[in-house]
C-alpha cells in the first residue's frame, strides 16, 4: 500500500502519517519525489487500517502496489532514481562506466589498469578483492590487501571503487574501502548478505543470478531497500542457457523490462554476459541502445596472463576504442558519456587557456 501525499503537504503532515504507520505495526518508507511525497507501507500490514489515513491532513489518496516488489517498483516511485556516489551520479542522463580487472592481482596490475580506464573516460574502477570462484583451489582474491590497492588507485586517479562483498561479516570492512558494494551473481539469494548491505549507507550493485528470473532479481533488491538502503543498482550479467558459443546468454530484454518495472538504475555487464572479449563491444553498444544506465566492463593490461576472466577482458586500447563508439551510441539515445578529455577541454576553455586537445593524460608513476 502507498499513501500518496498532496503536492504541497508539509513535513509535519508527512511525519504524522509515518508515525501512524509505525503505531499500526508496519514499516513506513517515505519516498520524496520531484512533485510529491509518497509513503510506502511494507512489512506487517495486517493491522494497518487504510481508512484511518484517508482523513489525515495532507493525504491525497491510498493506492495498492500490485507487484510483489514494493519499494523497487515503479508503482511506488514513478521517477527514475538517481544514485549519488560521492561526486558522481548514476541513473541520470550521464552513463556510468565502470571498468577494471576481474580480480585485483597486484598493485602494478591494478594501477596500470586504473590509469588506462581513467584516461579512456571511465569514472568507476572495478576489481575483485574477494572472489567467488567455482573451485576452492582457484585464486580467491587478495582480500584486505586487494582493498588497500583499490583505495590507493582511487586516491591516485580519482576513480570510484566498485568491489564485491561475499559475506555479511565482511560488509563493514569492504564498505570502508568501496564506493559501491557489489553483490555477485552467486549471492543474489544470500538473504543474510542482502540484509547486511541493506543496513549500511553504501550504494549496492546487485548482479542478477545466472539462474534468476527478473522478478527474483527485483525481490532481492527489495531486501536491500526494505532494510533502509535505497541506493541499489540492478545489473544484468547474463543467464545460463543451453547455448554453448557464449559463456552466458546476455539477456538484453532484461534492460527495458527492468526499466519498466522499476525506478532503480540498470547496469549491464557484457563481459560476464558473453564471456568473450571479441563480442563485448557489440553487446556494450547494444546495452546502451537498449536503455542501460551504465556498463561494467572487464579490462586487463595483459588478458592472456589474467588470473581470472582473461578471455572476456578487453585490453586498455580496445576499451578506449569502445568508449569512442559508445559516445556515439549514447548521443543517438539522448544519453551522455563525459570523458576526462572532455572535462579537461572544458576546464581549460573556462580557464581562458587553449583547449586541451592532444594533451598528455596522467600515467602511473
Ligand atoms: C565479477 O564481477 O567478476 C563476477 C564474479 O561477476 P558475477 O558475480 O556476475 O559472476
Ligand atoms: Mn569476472
Which domain CATH number covers 8? Answer: 3.30.70.1140
Tell me which DSSP letter residue 15 carries: H
Q: How far apart are CA 133 and CA 139, in angstroms?
A: 7
Please say whether the beta carbons of 88 and 160 come within 8 A: yes
What is the Å distance from ligand 1's center to 272 Cα? 7
Task: Note down the domain range covering 279.
Answer: 83-345
What's the total number of domains in the chain? 2
CA 126 to ligand 1: nearest atom = 2
What is the Å distance from ligand 2's center to 363 Cα? 25
Give the tens place of pLDDT for each residue, 340-350: 555 544 443 33
Q: How far apart are CA 81 and CA 36, in angstroms?
A: 14
pTM, entire model: 0.91
Residue 251: Cβ-neighbour burial (10 angstroms; 0-12, 13-18, 19+): middle
Mutate to test the pocket of ligand 1, among 139, 164, 188 (most ligand atoms within 8 A of CB): 164
* Helix/strand/coil for 102: coil
Which domain CATH number covers 247? Answer: 3.20.20.70
pLDDT number for residue 338: 74
Q: Are residues 57 and 122 in the same domain?
A: no
Residue 68 in domain: no
Q: Are residues 10 and 138 in the same domain?
A: no
CA 182 to ligand 1: nearest atom = 2
Q: Are residues 24 and 145 in the same domain?
A: no
Q: Are residues 180 and 293 in the same domain?
A: yes
Span of 62-71, 172-181, 320-329 with lowest mean pLDDT: 62-71
Query: Cell numbers at residue 75, please?
Result: 508503482
Q: What is the mean pLDDT of the segment spanning 92-96?
A: 97
Please say whether the beta carbons of 305 and 321 come within 8 A: no
Q: Are residues 10 and 123 in the same domain?
A: no
Q: Are residues 21 and 133 in the same domain?
A: no
Q: Are residues 56 and 175 in the same domain?
A: no
Q: Are residues 92 and 58 in the same domain?
A: no
pLDDT number for residue 303: 98
Residue 360 in domain: no
Quickly state the pLDDT bin for 358 (edges 50, 70, 90): very low
Amino acid at each position: 500500500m502507498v499513501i500518496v501525499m498532496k503536492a504541497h503537504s508539509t513535513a509535519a503532515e508527512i511525519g504524522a502519517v509515518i508515525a501512524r504507520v509505525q503505531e499500526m505495526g508496519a514499516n513506513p518508507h517515505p519516498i520524496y519525489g520531484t512533485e510529491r511525497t509518497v509513503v510506502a507501507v511494507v512489512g506487517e500490514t495486517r493491522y494497518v487500517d487504510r481508512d484511518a489515513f484517508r482523513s489525515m491532513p495532507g493525504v491525497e489518496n491510498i493506492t495498492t502496489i500490485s507487484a510483489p516488489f514494493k519499494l523497487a517498483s515503479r508503482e511506488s516511485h514513478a521517477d527514475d532514481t538517481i544514485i549519488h556516489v560521492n561526486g558522481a551520479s548514476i541513473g541520470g542522463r550521464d552513463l556510468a562506466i565502470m571498468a577494471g580487472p576481474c580480480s585485483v592481482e597486484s598493485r602494478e596490475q591494478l594501477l596500470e589498469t586504473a590509469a588506462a580506464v581513467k584516461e579512456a573516460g571511465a569514472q568507476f574502477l572495478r576489481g575483485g578483492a574477494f572472489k567467488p570462484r567455482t573451485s576452492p583451489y582457484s585464486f580467491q582474491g587478495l582480500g584486505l590487501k586487494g582493498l588497500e590497492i583499490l583505495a590507493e588507485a582511487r586516491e591516485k586517479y580519482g576513480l570510484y571503487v566498485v568491489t564485491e562483498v561475499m559475506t555479511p561479516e565482511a560488509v563493514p570492512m569492504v564498505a570502508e574501502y568501496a564506493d559501491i558494494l557489489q553483490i555477485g551473481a552467486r549471492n543474489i539469494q544470500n538473504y543474510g548478505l542482502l540484509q547486511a548491505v541493506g543496513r549500511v549507507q553504501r550504494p549496492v550493485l546487485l548482479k542478477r543470478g545466472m539462474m534468476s528470473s527478473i522478478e527474483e532479481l527485483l525481490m532481492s533488491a527489495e531486501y536491500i531497500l526494505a532494510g533502509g538502503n535505497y541506493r541499489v543498482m540492478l545489473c544484468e550479467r547474463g543467464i545460463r542457457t543451453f547455448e554453448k558459443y557464449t559463456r552466458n546468454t546476455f539477456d538484453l530484454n532484461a534492460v527495458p523490462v527492468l526499466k519498466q518495472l522499476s525506478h532503480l538504475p540498470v547496469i549491464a555487464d557484457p563481459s560476464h554476459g558473453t564471456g568473450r572479449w571479441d563480442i563485448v563491444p557489440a553487446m556494450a553498444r547494444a546495452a546502451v541502445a537498449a536503455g542501460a544506465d551504465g556498463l561494467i566492463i572487464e579490462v586487463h593490461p595483459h588478458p592472456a596472463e589474467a588470473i581470472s576472466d582473461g578471455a572476456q577482458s578487453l585490453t586498455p586500447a580496445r576499451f578506449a576504442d569502445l568508449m569512442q563508439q559508445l559516445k556515439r551510441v549514447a548521443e543517438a539515445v539522448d544519453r551522455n558519456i563525459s570523458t576526462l578529455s572532455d572535462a579537461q577541454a572544458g576546464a581549460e576553455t573556462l580557464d581562458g587557456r587553449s583547449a586541451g586537445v592532444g594533451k598528455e593524460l596522467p600515467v602511473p608513476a
